[in-house]
Amino acid sequence: EDKVVQSPLSLVVHEGDTVTLNCSYEVTNFRSLLWYKQEKKAPTFLFMLTSSGIEKKSGRLSSILDKKELFSILNITATQTGDSAVYLCAATRVYDKIIFGKGTRLHILP
């Protein structure tokens, strides 16, 4: 059965800290790994990863995929209160069935 597991499920840090969110997956016919940020409404897209070892960056956020060990990490440096959200990881299969993890709830204290 396909599954995506995220850890930790929740995390509280102080503003300025660096955080690492984890995502492991077991998906047949894996194609790509996606990261989303969800605040009050719909998830917003952060990264799509298809190749191992190639880091993607956007400002203070970065992510990398390891297709051999079947996991990905999302790093956020110099965290700000606006980074408080639920971060979702999802794995896509060749035929575009997309499986989400339960999410990591991140809370940044001022």
For position 57 contacting other proteins by CB under 8 A, the verdict is no
**What is the total count of residues that contact other proteins (CB under 8 A)?**
20
Residue 44 or 77 having the CB closest to other proteins: 44
Tell me, residue by residue from 2 to 41, as one string, x for binding to other proteins by CB under 8 A and - for no binding: ----x--x------------------------x------x
For position 48 contacting other proteins by CB under 8 A, the verdict is yes
Residue 87 or 108 having the CB closest to other proteins: 87
With beta carbons less than 8 A apart as the criterion, state whether 63 and 74 touch. yes
Burial 25-57 (b: 16+ CB within 10 A, else e): bebeebebbbbbbeeeeebeebbebeeeeeebe
